[in-house]
Amino acid sequence: MIVVVGSYNVDFLIKVRDFPSEGETVFSDGVYIDHGGKGSNQAVSASRLGGNVRLISAVGNDEFGKRAIKFWEDERLDVAYVKIKNALTGSAYIVFDRRGRNFIVVNRGANALLSEDDLDGCLNGDILLTQLEVNENVVKKALKEFPGVKVLNPAPAVLNDNSLLEYVDILTPNEIEFKELTGTQDLNYGIDLLLKKVKRAVIVTLGERGAYIGTRERRILIPTLAVDAIDTTGAGDVFNASLAVYLEKGYSLERAVRISNIISAYSTTRIGALGPRLSEVSELIEKE
Ligand code: ADP
């Protein structure tokens, strides 16, 4: 069982030709409403790859919360521990222009109300996958008490209490998060710093260059597939989801990363943050 502790947001994607200036009003070229939030994205992507996934997340007592739970049930997640809070469901307002630049405002809503008590009774399983879009004390408690392998995707890379890293087996920052956490772009130096706390490995995802694995014994760059990427949003979420699925299957870290590179590269050839179903990628990963 993979247990995901994380966020849910309704994403409002608002397309404009040009951003309005201060005080100006513009008409949009379209609004799209989608499911988002790193916790939900990673949980659903893991389930699509065949993982057995329990999601621990909070939604509001509104229509968006009901819609989210229905979505997760359709995606075959265990939603028994999803909490309904007396608040609005979390939401993200993503305004993007014709050049693809964006502004994002997030209302944390119910995500901010997920509490340590909400974890009671549900911290059992093989792999914990969590991020930093819910309260840090909740993430810390989950990492501290979960009995299996613990993966932290440190996104966004805002950490008030670094001691939380002592409970992490595998840390998976992207390049930006890596720089924010370590203050350096030097992979080996930064990984040395992180491994003072992180127990087993740091995996830095490097976009089209693949992923770099750092343990106390070795460092290795695993290249990814060369693809015609059309939408890299959520590539990291798919990578983390896949990593959890293949670690749960008992694959070595290196093999799990090789497969996760392929699956997340494939996901960039499609629009949307959610990953592919196993049937779409089974041929691609057959030889790995
Ligand atoms: P994030 O989405 O968090 O910024 P990355 O950009 O590092 O994370 O992407 C995660 C993984 O997705 C990479 O390790 C890589 O395997 C794959 N990936 C991302 N962008 C591309 C790309 N342009 N071409 C091929 N693979 C990609």
Amino acid at 204: V
Q: Residue of the nearest CA to atom 24 in ligand 1? A: 208
Could you identify the atom of ligand 1 that is nearest to the CA of residue 155? 3
Residue with structure tokens 């049937």?
279
Residue 121 has pLDDT above 90, yes or no: yes
| Span 75-104, average pLDDT | 95
Alpha helices in the chain (DSSP H): 38-48, 63-74, 136-145, 175-182, 187-194, 235-248, 253-267, 278-285
Q: Please indicate whether residue 261, judged by its CB atom, sits closer than 6 Å to ligand 1.
A: yes
Q: What is the predicted pLDDT for the residue at 97?
A: 92
| Cα 177 → chain centroid | 13
For residue 42, report the distance from its CA to the centre of ligand 1, in Å. Answer: 14
Q: Please indicate whether residue 232, judged by its CB atom, sits closer than 6 Å to ligand 1.
A: yes
Q: Which domain holds residue 154?
A: 2-285
Residues marked active site are found at 237
Q: What is the predicted pLDDT for the residue at 100?
A: 83
Q: Please indicate whether residue 131, judged by its CB atom, sits closer than 6 Å to ligand 1.
A: no
Q: Please indicate whether residue 207, judged by its CB atom, sits closer than 6 Å to ligand 1.
A: yes
Please give the structure tokens belonging to residue 211. Answer: 């992923």
| Span 137-165, average pLDDT | 97
For residue 241, report the distance from its CA to the centre of ligand 1, in Å. Answer: 13
Coil, helix or strand at residue 126 = coil
* Bridge partners (DSSP) listed for residue 139: none
Instruction: Look over the chain and give the mean of its residue pLDDT values, rounded to a whole number.
Output: 96
Q: What are 181-234's pLDDT values in tens digits?
A: 999 999 999 999 999 999 999 999 999 999 999 999 999 999 999 999 998 989
For residue 264, report the distance from its CA to the centre of ligand 1, in Å. Answer: 6
- Tally of structural domains, the chain: 1
Q: Confidence band (pLDDT; 50, 70, 90) for 55?
A: very high
- What CATH number does residue 67 fall under? 3.40.1190.20
Could you identify the atom of ligand 1 that is nearest to the CA of residue 153? 3
